[in-house]
Amino acid sequence: MELLELREDRVRFLLRGVTPAFANGIRRACLAEVPSLAIDEISIYDNTSVLFDEQLSLRLGLVPIKAEDLSLYRVSEECDCGGAGCPACQVGMTLTAEGPSIVHSGDLRFGDPAVNVAFEKIPLAILGEGEKLMLEGIVTLNRGTVHIKWQAGTQCGYKNLPDIGISEDCERCGKCADVCPREILVIEEGDGRVKVTDPTSCSLCKLCVVECETGRIKVVPIEDVFVMKIDTDGSISAKDLVIGAATEIKRRAMSLSEQLSELA
């Protein structure tokens, strides 16, 4: 594994020596298997805005929510309380607003000071003069397999790393560099040779191959090397999301191994 880029909400890395199924396993686990927080149940006491209760609830459910330490919370079915509801698996939330105003995600108030929205400025509703909102809800931890609102990974994808080869007898016309949409091919000053700058940014569009009339450039995907890109919705850091995905895959593999050994 080779780290290419690490931000709070994005990680890019190279995975070498794995199958497409393994790379896809990481991607799918990032999307659906790592638990995150979301508003689950909502009780609306007053809503005189133009939004239907259902529209408002949908928007609230999709607000990314983060915790200082997510490991303190449990998925309710796996909690010691047996799903009845306790501070380890539920956090209370309230919203009270009166127009004229724009209600933002930052107006939500949580019962646990260690829990808050990932972004304060997500617009939720526009309230006219005298219009009111008063509601409360419950934030729970769960997985993207249950509902998309618990999906912390947003854009998660992978592609093969390309092997870009330019033969020695290249005529140095520069057409391949002109046509490359990602500016990966550049003409070196002086001798006019084509240089490959960052193959991890290549989308394998092969426009350069089509443009090169003499066939001196080849772009071939390396079958067992993948460029992984994982984006999050802000509720979990990209680093924690990938670690959580790998941990989940490991847990399942060990569980399968145990069950198979019991059968043997």
Q: Which residues are annotated as a binding site?
A: 202, 205, 212
Q: Where are the alpha helices (DSSP H) in the chain?
A: 20-32, 53-61, 175-179, 207-211, 238-263
CB of 13 or CB of 73, closer to Zn ion = 73
Sheet with 132-142, side-by-side order of all strands: 109-110, 91-98, 132-142, 36-47, 65-67, 115-117
Q: How far is the CB of 75 from Zn ion (least distance, A)?
A: 9
Least distance (Å) between residue 116 CB and Zn ion = 21
- Closest distance between Zn ion and the C-beta of residue 79, in Å? 3
Q: Which is nearer to Zn ion, 137 or 234 (CB)?
A: 137
Residue 140 or 235: which CB sits closer to Zn ion? 140
Closer to Zn ion by Cβ: residue 79 or 212: 79
Cα distance between residue 80 and residue 62, in whole Å: 27
Residue 263 φ then ψ, to 5°? -70, -30
- Label residues 109-140 b or e (16+ Cβ within 10 Å = b): ebebeebbbbeeebebbebeeebebebbbbbb
We find the least distance from the C-beta atom of residue 87 to Zn ion, in angstroms, to be: 8
DSSP code at position 75: B
Shortest distance (Å) from residue 140 CB to Zn ion: 9
Cα pseudo-dihedral 247, 91, 55, 129, rounded to 10: -140
Query: How far apart, in whole angstroms, are the C-alpha atoms of residue 143 and residue 125?
Result: 27
- Annotated binding-site residues for [3Fe-4S] cluster read 202, 205, 212
Q: Which residues bind Zn ion (CB under 5 A)?
A: 79, 81, 86, 88-89
Three-state SS at 160: strand
The nearer residue to Zn ion, 72 or 256, going by C-beta atoms, is: 72
